[in-house]
Structure 1
Amino acid sequence: MSHATIGAEAAFARTHARPTAADTVTQTFAMAWRALKKMRRNPEQFFDVALQPLLFTWMFAYVFGGAISGDVHSYLPLLIPGIVAQTVLTTSMATGVQLREDMDKGVFDRFRSLPMSRVAPLAGPMVADLVRYLIAAVLTYLMGLALGYRPGGGVAGVVGAVALAVFTGWSIAWAFTWIGTIARSARSVQGISMMILFPLTFLSNAFVPADTLPGWLETFTKVNPVSHLVSATRDLANNGTITGQVGWTLLTSLVVIAVFLPLSVLTYRRRL
Protein backbone atom coordinates (compact mmCIF):
# COMPACT_ATOMS: atom_id res chain seq x y z
CA MET A 1 0.00 0.00 0.00
CA SER A 2 1.47 3.37 -1.03
CA HIS A 3 2.11 6.26 1.31
CA ALA A 4 -0.40 8.32 -0.70
CA THR A 5 -3.12 5.74 -0.10
CA ILE A 6 -2.33 5.55 3.61
CA GLY A 7 -2.39 9.34 3.84
CA ALA A 8 -5.73 9.52 2.04
CA GLU A 9 -7.26 6.92 4.36
CA ALA A 10 -5.96 8.76 7.41
CA ALA A 11 -7.44 12.03 6.15
CA PHE A 12 -10.76 10.28 5.48
CA ALA A 13 -10.75 8.83 8.99
CA ARG A 14 -10.05 12.22 10.54
CA THR A 15 -12.83 13.81 8.48
CA HIS A 16 -15.40 11.20 9.48
CA ALA A 17 -14.33 10.74 13.08
CA ARG A 18 -17.04 11.22 15.66
CA PRO A 19 -16.84 14.78 17.06
CA THR A 20 -15.81 15.03 20.66
CA ALA A 21 -17.81 16.89 23.31
CA ALA A 22 -15.43 19.84 22.96
CA ASP A 23 -15.93 19.81 19.17
CA THR A 24 -19.69 19.81 19.64
CA VAL A 25 -19.59 22.82 21.95
CA THR A 26 -17.27 24.74 19.62
CA GLN A 27 -19.38 23.95 16.57
CA THR A 28 -22.59 24.83 18.39
CA PHE A 29 -21.27 28.30 19.24
CA ALA A 30 -20.07 28.70 15.66
CA MET A 31 -23.59 27.96 14.44
CA ALA A 32 -24.98 30.33 17.06
CA TRP A 33 -22.72 33.09 15.74
CA ARG A 34 -23.97 32.34 12.21
CA ALA A 35 -27.57 32.67 13.41
CA LEU A 36 -26.83 35.98 15.17
CA LYS A 37 -25.22 37.39 12.02
CA LYS A 38 -28.28 36.27 10.08
CA MET A 39 -30.53 38.10 12.56
CA ARG A 40 -28.40 41.24 12.24
CA ARG A 41 -28.82 41.19 8.47
CA ASN A 42 -32.58 40.55 8.78
CA PRO A 43 -33.84 43.01 11.41
CA GLU A 44 -37.44 41.93 10.78
CA GLN A 45 -36.65 38.83 12.87
CA PHE A 46 -36.64 41.14 15.90
CA PHE A 47 -40.05 42.69 15.19
CA ASP A 48 -41.95 40.13 17.23
CA VAL A 49 -39.63 40.46 20.24
CA ALA A 50 -39.41 44.26 19.99
CA LEU A 51 -42.97 45.28 19.13
CA GLN A 52 -45.17 42.49 20.53
CA PRO A 53 -44.27 42.96 24.22
CA LEU A 54 -44.69 46.73 24.01
CA LEU A 55 -47.99 46.56 22.15
CA PHE A 56 -49.50 43.70 24.16
CA THR A 57 -48.50 45.18 27.51
CA TRP A 58 -49.99 48.58 26.72
CA MET A 59 -53.13 47.16 25.07
CA PHE A 60 -53.96 44.51 27.68
CA ALA A 61 -53.29 46.89 30.57
CA TYR A 62 -55.80 49.47 29.41
CA VAL A 63 -58.37 47.06 27.94
CA PHE A 64 -58.55 44.58 30.84
CA GLY A 65 -57.14 46.53 33.78
CA GLY A 66 -60.34 48.24 34.87
CA ALA A 67 -62.56 45.20 34.28
CA ILE A 68 -60.37 42.69 36.14
CA SER A 69 -58.60 44.65 38.88
CA GLY A 70 -60.47 47.94 39.02
CA ASP A 71 -57.66 50.03 37.55
CA VAL A 72 -54.55 49.68 35.42
CA HIS A 73 -52.06 50.08 38.26
CA SER A 74 -53.61 47.24 40.29
CA TYR A 75 -53.66 44.99 37.24
CA LEU A 76 -49.97 45.34 36.35
CA PRO A 77 -48.60 42.86 38.96
CA LEU A 78 -50.97 40.26 37.49
CA LEU A 79 -50.38 41.21 33.86
CA ILE A 80 -46.64 41.81 33.45
CA PRO A 81 -45.44 38.29 34.41
CA GLY A 82 -48.21 36.88 32.22
CA ILE A 83 -47.11 38.95 29.23
CA VAL A 84 -43.49 37.88 29.82
CA ALA A 85 -44.48 34.22 29.73
CA GLN A 86 -46.70 34.65 26.67
CA THR A 87 -44.14 36.69 24.73
CA VAL A 88 -41.21 34.35 25.38
CA LEU A 89 -43.23 31.25 24.53
CA THR A 90 -44.72 32.67 21.33
CA THR A 91 -41.28 33.93 20.31
CA SER A 92 -39.93 30.39 20.60
CA MET A 93 -42.23 29.30 17.76
CA ALA A 94 -39.96 31.09 15.29
CA THR A 95 -37.19 28.55 15.96
CA GLY A 96 -39.03 25.74 14.22
CA VAL A 97 -40.19 27.98 11.38
CA GLN A 98 -36.66 29.21 10.61
CA LEU A 99 -35.29 25.68 10.84
CA ARG A 100 -37.81 24.46 8.27
CA GLU A 101 -36.97 27.37 5.97
CA ASP A 102 -33.26 26.51 6.12
CA MET A 103 -33.97 22.85 5.45
CA ASP A 104 -36.14 23.73 2.44
CA LYS A 105 -33.38 25.95 1.04
CA GLY A 106 -30.84 23.14 1.26
CA VAL A 107 -28.65 24.85 3.85
CA PHE A 108 -28.55 21.75 6.03
CA ASP A 109 -27.45 19.57 3.12
CA ARG A 110 -24.15 21.44 3.23
CA PHE A 111 -23.90 21.01 7.01
CA ARG A 112 -24.46 17.28 6.62
CA SER A 113 -21.50 16.98 4.29
CA LEU A 114 -19.18 18.65 6.79
CA PRO A 115 -17.29 16.82 9.58
CA MET A 116 -19.38 18.36 12.33
CA SER A 117 -21.65 17.29 15.15
CA ARG A 118 -25.19 16.49 14.07
CA VAL A 119 -26.64 18.42 17.00
CA ALA A 120 -24.69 21.64 16.29
CA PRO A 121 -26.89 22.91 13.40
CA LEU A 122 -29.92 22.54 15.68
CA ALA A 123 -28.43 23.70 18.97
CA GLY A 124 -26.59 26.70 17.50
CA PRO A 125 -29.69 28.67 16.48
CA MET A 126 -31.26 27.67 19.80
CA VAL A 127 -28.39 29.36 21.65
CA ALA A 128 -28.72 32.45 19.46
CA ASP A 129 -32.45 32.61 20.15
CA LEU A 130 -31.70 33.13 23.83
CA VAL A 131 -30.90 36.71 22.84
CA ARG A 132 -34.38 37.13 21.35
CA TYR A 133 -36.09 35.71 24.46
CA LEU A 134 -34.04 37.99 26.70
CA ILE A 135 -34.94 41.07 24.64
CA ALA A 136 -38.65 40.20 24.76
CA ALA A 137 -38.66 39.66 28.53
CA VAL A 138 -36.64 42.81 29.33
CA LEU A 139 -38.77 45.03 27.08
CA THR A 140 -41.94 43.74 28.75
CA TYR A 141 -40.68 44.68 32.20
CA LEU A 142 -39.46 48.06 30.95
CA MET A 143 -42.90 48.75 29.47
CA GLY A 144 -44.48 47.70 32.75
CA LEU A 145 -42.23 50.11 34.66
CA ALA A 146 -43.23 52.89 32.27
CA LEU A 147 -46.91 52.16 33.02
CA GLY A 148 -46.33 52.22 36.79
CA TYR A 149 -45.47 48.62 37.66
CA ARG A 150 -43.21 48.33 40.69
CA PRO A 151 -42.08 44.71 41.30
CA GLY A 152 -41.93 43.91 45.01
CA GLY A 153 -39.23 41.31 44.43
CA GLY A 154 -36.74 43.99 43.45
CA VAL A 155 -33.94 43.56 40.94
CA ALA A 156 -33.09 40.03 42.11
CA GLY A 157 -36.70 38.89 41.78
CA VAL A 158 -37.05 40.34 38.29
CA VAL A 159 -33.74 38.82 37.16
CA GLY A 160 -34.89 35.44 38.48
CA ALA A 161 -38.24 35.76 36.71
CA VAL A 162 -36.57 36.70 33.43
CA ALA A 163 -34.07 33.82 33.71
CA LEU A 164 -36.86 31.33 34.40
CA ALA A 165 -38.97 32.58 31.49
CA VAL A 166 -36.01 32.51 29.09
CA PHE A 167 -35.04 28.97 30.12
CA THR A 168 -38.63 27.78 29.75
CA GLY A 169 -38.92 29.38 26.32
CA TRP A 170 -35.66 27.72 25.29
CA SER A 171 -36.91 24.33 26.42
CA ILE A 172 -40.23 24.70 24.59
CA ALA A 173 -38.33 25.72 21.46
CA TRP A 174 -36.98 22.17 21.27
CA ALA A 175 -40.55 20.94 20.77
CA PHE A 176 -41.00 23.44 17.93
CA THR A 177 -37.62 22.39 16.52
CA TRP A 178 -38.89 18.83 16.35
CA ILE A 179 -42.05 20.04 14.59
CA GLY A 180 -39.78 21.87 12.15
CA THR A 181 -38.06 18.60 11.26
CA ILE A 182 -41.29 16.69 10.57
CA ALA A 183 -43.52 19.34 8.97
CA ARG A 184 -43.61 19.81 5.21
CA SER A 185 -43.28 23.59 5.09
CA ALA A 186 -42.50 26.61 7.23
CA ARG A 187 -46.13 27.68 7.02
CA SER A 188 -47.33 24.36 8.40
CA VAL A 189 -44.79 24.61 11.25
CA GLN A 190 -46.22 27.99 12.19
CA GLY A 191 -49.79 26.73 11.98
CA ILE A 192 -49.15 23.64 14.11
CA SER A 193 -47.17 25.63 16.68
CA MET A 194 -49.88 28.28 17.03
CA MET A 195 -52.56 25.60 17.35
CA ILE A 196 -50.63 24.08 20.28
CA LEU A 197 -49.33 27.16 22.05
CA PHE A 198 -52.09 29.75 21.81
CA PRO A 199 -54.74 27.67 23.62
CA LEU A 200 -52.22 26.85 26.35
CA THR A 201 -51.32 30.53 26.68
CA PHE A 202 -54.78 32.04 26.70
CA LEU A 203 -56.38 29.22 28.71
CA SER A 204 -54.03 29.95 31.60
CA ASN A 205 -53.87 32.39 34.49
CA ALA A 206 -51.73 34.81 32.47
CA PHE A 207 -54.40 37.49 32.13
CA VAL A 208 -57.16 36.63 34.60
CA PRO A 209 -57.21 34.99 38.05
CA ALA A 210 -57.96 31.27 37.74
CA ASP A 211 -60.69 31.41 40.41
CA THR A 212 -62.81 33.68 38.19
CA LEU A 213 -63.12 30.97 35.51
CA PRO A 214 -65.79 28.25 35.19
CA GLY A 215 -65.04 25.14 37.25
CA TRP A 216 -63.91 22.89 34.39
CA LEU A 217 -61.71 25.61 32.93
CA GLU A 218 -60.25 26.48 36.32
CA THR A 219 -59.24 22.84 36.74
CA PHE A 220 -57.49 22.84 33.38
CA THR A 221 -55.83 26.17 34.12
CA LYS A 222 -54.34 24.87 37.36
CA VAL A 223 -52.59 21.96 35.61
CA ASN A 224 -51.60 23.99 32.55
CA PRO A 225 -47.77 24.25 32.41
CA VAL A 226 -48.07 27.86 31.24
CA SER A 227 -49.95 28.68 34.45
CA HIS A 228 -47.09 27.22 36.48
CA LEU A 229 -44.64 29.45 34.63
CA VAL A 230 -46.81 32.54 35.10
CA SER A 231 -47.32 31.83 38.81
CA ALA A 232 -43.60 31.21 39.27
CA THR A 233 -42.60 34.47 37.59
CA ARG A 234 -45.20 36.35 39.66
CA ASP A 235 -43.83 34.87 42.87
CA LEU A 236 -40.30 35.87 41.89
CA ALA A 237 -40.97 39.34 40.49
CA ASN A 238 -43.76 40.48 42.82
CA ASN A 239 -42.63 38.87 46.08
CA GLY A 240 -39.04 37.76 45.58
CA THR A 241 -39.90 34.25 46.76
CA ILE A 242 -38.98 30.85 45.30
CA THR A 243 -42.06 28.66 45.56
CA GLY A 244 -43.09 25.21 44.42
CA GLN A 245 -44.29 26.75 41.14
CA VAL A 246 -40.65 27.44 40.26
CA GLY A 247 -39.79 23.80 40.88
CA TRP A 248 -42.69 22.54 38.75
CA THR A 249 -41.72 24.88 35.92
CA LEU A 250 -38.09 23.76 35.96
CA LEU A 251 -39.11 20.09 36.10
CA THR A 252 -41.48 20.49 33.14
CA SER A 253 -38.80 22.30 31.15
CA LEU A 254 -36.25 19.57 31.80
CA VAL A 255 -38.73 16.88 30.77
CA VAL A 256 -39.47 18.73 27.51
CA ILE A 257 -35.75 19.00 26.77
CA ALA A 258 -35.14 15.34 27.60
CA VAL A 259 -37.92 14.27 25.21
CA PHE A 260 -37.65 16.66 22.28
CA LEU A 261 -33.89 17.31 22.03
CA PRO A 262 -33.07 13.69 21.09
CA LEU A 263 -36.22 13.46 18.98
CA SER A 264 -35.20 16.57 17.04
CA VAL A 265 -31.69 15.25 16.39
CA LEU A 266 -32.97 11.80 15.38
CA THR A 267 -35.60 13.16 13.00
CA TYR A 268 -33.17 15.70 11.57
CA ARG A 269 -30.65 12.96 10.76
CA ARG A 270 -33.34 10.82 9.10
CA ARG A 271 -34.81 13.61 7.00
CA LEU A 272 -31.49 14.78 5.54
Structure 2
Amino acid sequence: MMEKSARGKRDVWLVTLLPSAVQTSTITIPDVNYINLICCETSDRFWVSGESKLLKVDSRGNVLIRLVVGLSGMSTNTDGELMFTTGNSVEKIESNGIITTLFSTNDIIKCIYSSCINGDILLGLNNTALDTSKVTRYDVTGQKILDIEDQGVKLYNYPSYITENINGDIWTSDTVKVVVVNKSGKHRFNYRGHQSHYFNPKGICTDILGHVLVCNSSLFRPSVHLLDQDGQFLSLLLTKEHNIHDPRSVCVDDKHNLYLGQYGRNKIRVYKYIQVSDK
Protein backbone atom coordinates (compact mmCIF):
# COMPACT_ATOMS: atom_id res chain seq x y z
CA MET A 1 0.00 0.00 0.00
CA MET A 2 1.25 3.47 -0.86
CA GLU A 3 0.15 6.72 0.66
CA LYS A 4 0.87 10.28 -0.31
CA SER A 5 -0.50 13.62 0.75
CA ALA A 6 -1.24 16.08 -2.04
CA ARG A 7 -2.02 19.76 -1.51
CA GLY A 8 -4.48 21.62 -3.72
CA LYS A 9 -5.47 25.26 -3.44
CA ARG A 10 -7.55 24.65 -0.33
CA ASP A 11 -7.54 21.02 0.64
CA VAL A 12 -5.15 18.30 1.71
CA TRP A 13 -6.11 14.77 0.74
CA LEU A 14 -4.78 11.25 1.18
CA VAL A 15 -4.16 9.17 -1.92
CA THR A 16 -3.98 5.40 -1.43
CA LEU A 17 -3.03 2.78 -3.99
CA LEU A 18 -5.51 -0.09 -3.67
CA PRO A 19 -4.25 -3.69 -3.41
CA SER A 20 -5.78 -4.46 -6.81
CA ALA A 21 -7.85 -2.77 -9.49
CA VAL A 22 -11.63 -3.14 -9.17
CA GLN A 23 -13.86 -2.85 -12.22
CA THR A 24 -16.71 -0.44 -11.52
CA SER A 25 -18.52 -0.22 -14.85
CA THR A 26 -18.52 -1.02 -18.56
CA ILE A 27 -19.46 1.58 -21.15
CA THR A 28 -20.64 0.41 -24.57
CA ILE A 29 -19.59 2.77 -27.37
CA PRO A 30 -21.97 2.75 -30.36
CA ASP A 31 -20.88 2.93 -34.00
CA VAL A 32 -17.39 1.49 -33.50
CA ASN A 33 -16.04 -2.06 -33.37
CA TYR A 34 -12.83 -1.18 -31.57
CA ILE A 35 -11.33 1.63 -29.52
CA ASN A 36 -7.86 2.82 -30.41
CA LEU A 37 -7.68 6.02 -28.34
CA ILE A 38 -9.38 7.37 -25.20
CA CYS A 39 -9.01 10.88 -23.85
CA CYS A 40 -10.77 11.87 -20.62
CA GLU A 41 -12.26 15.35 -20.36
CA THR A 42 -14.03 14.86 -17.02
CA SER A 43 -15.42 11.90 -15.09
CA ASP A 44 -18.59 12.18 -17.17
CA ARG A 45 -17.20 13.19 -20.57
CA PHE A 46 -14.53 11.58 -22.69
CA TRP A 47 -13.44 11.21 -26.31
CA VAL A 48 -12.89 7.91 -28.11
CA SER A 49 -11.47 7.12 -31.53
CA GLY A 50 -11.78 4.06 -33.72
CA GLU A 51 -12.46 3.16 -37.37
CA SER A 52 -11.98 6.74 -38.61
CA LYS A 53 -14.58 7.98 -36.15
CA LEU A 54 -14.17 10.45 -33.31
CA LEU A 55 -16.88 10.43 -30.65
CA LYS A 56 -17.49 12.48 -27.55
CA VAL A 57 -19.38 10.24 -25.11
CA ASP A 58 -20.80 10.52 -21.60
CA SER A 59 -20.47 7.93 -18.84
CA ARG A 60 -23.68 6.18 -19.97
CA GLY A 61 -22.44 5.73 -23.53
CA ASN A 62 -24.54 8.51 -25.05
CA VAL A 63 -22.83 10.10 -28.04
CA LEU A 64 -22.63 13.88 -27.66
CA ILE A 65 -20.50 14.64 -30.73
CA ARG A 66 -19.79 12.41 -33.73
CA LEU A 67 -17.14 13.21 -36.36
CA VAL A 68 -15.79 11.18 -39.26
CA VAL A 69 -12.05 11.73 -39.18
CA GLY A 70 -9.03 9.47 -39.29
CA LEU A 71 -6.64 10.54 -36.59
CA SER A 72 -3.40 9.27 -35.09
CA GLY A 73 -3.44 10.94 -31.69
CA MET A 74 -5.48 13.15 -29.37
CA SER A 75 -5.13 15.00 -26.08
CA THR A 76 -7.09 17.60 -24.13
CA ASN A 77 -5.38 20.90 -23.42
CA THR A 78 -5.44 22.94 -20.21
CA ASP A 79 -8.70 24.59 -21.35
CA GLY A 80 -10.40 21.22 -21.78
CA GLU A 81 -10.42 21.48 -25.58
CA LEU A 82 -9.56 18.43 -27.65
CA MET A 83 -6.47 18.53 -29.83
CA PHE A 84 -5.96 15.81 -32.41
CA THR A 85 -3.63 14.97 -35.28
CA THR A 86 -4.34 14.00 -38.87
CA GLY A 87 -1.45 13.36 -41.22
CA ASN A 88 0.96 16.20 -40.53
CA SER A 89 -1.53 18.64 -38.97
CA VAL A 90 -2.55 19.51 -35.42
CA GLU A 91 -6.25 20.34 -35.08
CA LYS A 92 -8.35 21.65 -32.21
CA ILE A 93 -12.04 21.34 -31.42
CA GLU A 94 -13.10 24.50 -29.60
CA SER A 95 -15.90 24.62 -27.02
CA ASN A 96 -18.33 25.82 -29.70
CA GLY A 97 -17.59 22.73 -31.81
CA ILE A 98 -15.57 24.55 -34.47
CA ILE A 99 -12.46 22.71 -35.72
CA THR A 100 -9.39 24.80 -36.43
CA THR A 101 -5.95 23.86 -37.74
CA LEU A 102 -3.27 25.03 -35.32
CA PHE A 103 -0.16 24.18 -37.33
CA SER A 104 1.45 21.59 -39.60
CA THR A 105 4.78 19.78 -39.62
CA ASN A 106 7.08 18.40 -42.30
CA ASP A 107 6.76 14.88 -40.85
CA ILE A 108 3.86 12.54 -40.22
CA ILE A 109 2.46 12.90 -36.69
CA LYS A 110 1.96 9.63 -34.83
CA CYS A 111 0.96 10.86 -31.37
CA ILE A 112 0.28 14.02 -29.39
CA TYR A 113 0.17 15.18 -25.77
CA SER A 114 -0.75 18.62 -24.46
CA SER A 115 1.28 19.38 -21.34
CA CYS A 116 -0.62 19.93 -18.09
CA ILE A 117 2.49 21.67 -16.76
CA ASN A 118 2.91 24.50 -19.27
CA GLY A 119 0.55 23.86 -22.20
CA ASP A 120 3.35 22.86 -24.58
CA ILE A 121 2.50 20.36 -27.31
CA LEU A 122 4.53 17.15 -27.59
CA LEU A 123 4.44 15.30 -30.92
CA GLY A 124 5.83 11.91 -31.93
CA LEU A 125 6.96 12.31 -35.55
CA ASN A 126 7.98 9.89 -38.29
CA ASN A 127 9.62 10.48 -41.66
CA THR A 128 9.39 7.30 -43.72
CA ALA A 129 11.48 8.68 -46.59
CA LEU A 130 14.42 9.34 -44.28
CA ASP A 131 13.63 6.44 -41.92
CA THR A 132 13.80 8.77 -38.93
CA SER A 133 11.60 9.35 -35.89
CA LYS A 134 11.70 11.92 -33.12
CA VAL A 135 9.70 13.72 -30.47
CA THR A 136 9.32 17.47 -30.84
CA ARG A 137 8.11 20.06 -28.33
CA TYR A 138 6.09 23.03 -29.62
CA ASP A 139 4.53 25.96 -27.84
CA VAL A 140 0.79 26.62 -28.10
CA THR A 141 1.30 28.76 -31.21
CA GLY A 142 3.09 25.96 -33.05
CA GLN A 143 6.59 27.38 -32.67
CA LYS A 144 9.17 24.62 -32.35
CA ILE A 145 10.97 24.58 -28.99
CA LEU A 146 12.98 21.36 -29.02
CA ASP A 147 13.70 18.32 -31.20
CA ILE A 148 14.40 15.12 -29.26
CA GLU A 149 16.13 12.64 -31.54
CA ASP A 150 19.08 10.25 -31.83
CA GLN A 151 21.68 10.69 -29.10
CA GLY A 152 24.59 8.52 -30.23
CA VAL A 153 22.19 5.60 -30.64
CA LYS A 154 18.81 5.48 -32.34
CA LEU A 155 16.40 6.84 -29.76
CA TYR A 156 13.01 6.25 -31.41
CA ASN A 157 11.88 3.73 -34.01
CA TYR A 158 8.15 4.44 -34.27
CA PRO A 159 6.64 6.61 -31.51
CA SER A 160 2.96 5.71 -31.18
CA TYR A 161 1.67 6.98 -27.81
CA ILE A 162 3.09 9.75 -25.63
CA THR A 163 2.56 11.37 -22.23
CA GLU A 164 4.32 13.65 -19.74
CA ASN A 165 4.78 12.90 -16.05
CA ILE A 166 4.47 15.29 -13.11
CA ASN A 167 8.28 15.63 -12.98
CA GLY A 168 8.39 16.75 -16.63
CA ASP A 169 9.71 13.46 -18.04
CA ILE A 170 8.38 12.51 -21.49
CA TRP A 171 7.32 8.87 -21.88
CA THR A 172 6.84 7.47 -25.39
CA SER A 173 5.61 4.01 -26.41
CA ASP A 174 7.95 2.93 -29.19
CA THR A 175 7.60 -0.53 -30.79
CA VAL A 176 9.06 -2.88 -28.11
CA LYS A 177 10.02 -0.35 -25.43
CA VAL A 178 8.99 2.82 -23.67
CA VAL A 179 11.53 5.62 -24.16
CA VAL A 180 11.89 8.11 -21.30
CA VAL A 181 13.65 11.47 -21.59
CA ASN A 182 13.72 14.39 -19.17
CA LYS A 183 12.13 17.77 -19.89
CA SER A 184 15.33 18.92 -21.61
CA GLY A 185 15.23 15.91 -23.94
CA LYS A 186 18.10 13.99 -22.37
CA HIS A 187 17.60 10.23 -22.47
CA ARG A 188 17.00 8.72 -19.02
CA PHE A 189 16.16 5.08 -19.66
CA ASN A 190 14.08 2.59 -21.64
CA TYR A 191 11.42 0.37 -20.08
CA ARG A 192 11.14 -3.02 -21.81
CA GLY A 193 8.46 -4.71 -19.75
CA HIS A 194 8.57 -6.90 -16.66
CA GLN A 195 9.97 -10.43 -16.88
CA SER A 196 8.48 -10.82 -20.31
CA HIS A 197 9.76 -11.30 -23.84
CA TYR A 198 6.37 -10.21 -25.11
CA PHE A 199 6.20 -6.45 -24.62
CA ASN A 200 4.31 -4.38 -27.17
CA PRO A 201 3.60 -1.02 -25.49
CA LYS A 202 0.64 1.04 -26.67
CA GLY A 203 -1.49 3.48 -24.67
CA ILE A 204 0.26 5.32 -21.85
CA CYS A 205 -0.82 7.84 -19.21
CA THR A 206 0.05 9.16 -15.75
CA ASP A 207 -1.89 9.79 -12.54
CA ILE A 208 -1.93 12.12 -9.52
CA LEU A 209 0.86 10.16 -7.81
CA GLY A 210 3.20 10.29 -10.80
CA HIS A 211 2.56 6.63 -11.61
CA VAL A 212 2.83 5.68 -15.26
CA LEU A 213 0.33 3.20 -16.71
CA VAL A 214 1.34 1.37 -19.89
CA CYS A 215 -0.79 -0.94 -22.04
CA ASN A 216 0.99 -4.09 -23.23
CA SER A 217 -0.94 -5.32 -26.27
CA SER A 218 0.97 -8.60 -26.45
CA LEU A 219 -1.18 -11.43 -27.78
CA PHE A 220 0.20 -13.81 -25.16
CA ARG A 221 0.43 -11.50 -22.14
CA PRO A 222 -2.01 -8.59 -22.48
CA SER A 223 -1.66 -6.35 -19.45
CA VAL A 224 -1.48 -2.87 -17.99
CA HIS A 225 1.79 -2.14 -16.19
CA LEU A 226 1.99 0.25 -13.23
CA LEU A 227 5.35 2.00 -12.79
CA ASP A 228 6.61 4.72 -10.50
CA GLN A 229 7.83 8.03 -11.92
CA ASP A 230 11.38 6.70 -12.24
CA GLY A 231 10.36 3.61 -14.20
CA GLN A 232 10.46 1.11 -11.36
CA PHE A 233 7.94 -1.67 -11.87
CA LEU A 234 5.21 -1.72 -9.20
CA SER A 235 2.63 -4.23 -10.45
CA LEU A 236 0.68 -5.74 -13.31
CA LEU A 237 -2.43 -3.71 -12.65
CA LEU A 238 -4.51 -5.67 -15.17
CA THR A 239 -3.68 -9.01 -16.80
CA LYS A 240 -5.20 -11.76 -18.93
CA GLU A 241 -6.81 -13.07 -15.73
CA HIS A 242 -8.95 -9.90 -15.76
CA ASN A 243 -10.23 -11.07 -19.17
CA ILE A 244 -8.62 -8.20 -21.06
CA HIS A 245 -7.69 -8.55 -24.72
CA ASP A 246 -5.24 -6.43 -26.74
CA PRO A 247 -5.36 -3.25 -24.59
CA ARG A 248 -4.68 -0.22 -26.78
CA SER A 249 -5.61 2.88 -24.81
CA VAL A 250 -5.73 4.02 -21.22
CA CYS A 251 -6.52 7.27 -19.42
CA VAL A 252 -7.31 8.46 -15.89
CA ASP A 253 -10.13 10.96 -15.28
CA ASP A 254 -10.40 13.80 -12.77
CA LYS A 255 -11.81 11.40 -10.16
CA HIS A 256 -8.90 8.99 -10.65
CA ASN A 257 -10.88 6.30 -12.49
CA LEU A 258 -8.98 4.25 -15.06
CA TYR A 259 -10.53 3.85 -18.54
CA LEU A 260 -9.33 0.97 -20.72
CA GLY A 261 -9.95 0.57 -24.45
CA GLN A 262 -9.24 -2.66 -26.32
CA TYR A 263 -8.77 -3.53 -29.98
CA GLY A 264 -11.66 -5.60 -31.31
CA ARG A 265 -13.96 -4.43 -28.50
CA ASN A 266 -16.46 -1.56 -28.44
CA LYS A 267 -16.70 -1.48 -24.66
CA ILE A 268 -14.66 0.68 -22.31
CA ARG A 269 -13.91 -0.82 -18.94
CA VAL A 270 -13.70 1.51 -15.95
CA TYR A 271 -11.64 0.59 -12.89
CA LYS A 272 -10.86 2.04 -9.49
CA TYR A 273 -7.25 1.51 -8.45
CA ILE A 274 -6.49 4.45 -6.17
CA GLN A 275 -8.60 5.89 -3.37
CA VAL A 276 -8.63 9.60 -2.58
CA SER A 277 -9.98 10.85 0.74
CA ASP A 278 -9.77 13.96 2.92
CA LYS A 279 -6.95 13.86 5.40
Give TM class, smaller chain. under 0.3
TM (norm. structure 2) is: 0.21
TM (norm. structure 1) is: 0.21
Return the structure number with greater relative CO, CA threshold 8 A, min gap 6. 1
Instruction: Work out which of the two has the higher radius of gyration on C-alpha atoms and give 1 or 2.
Output: 1
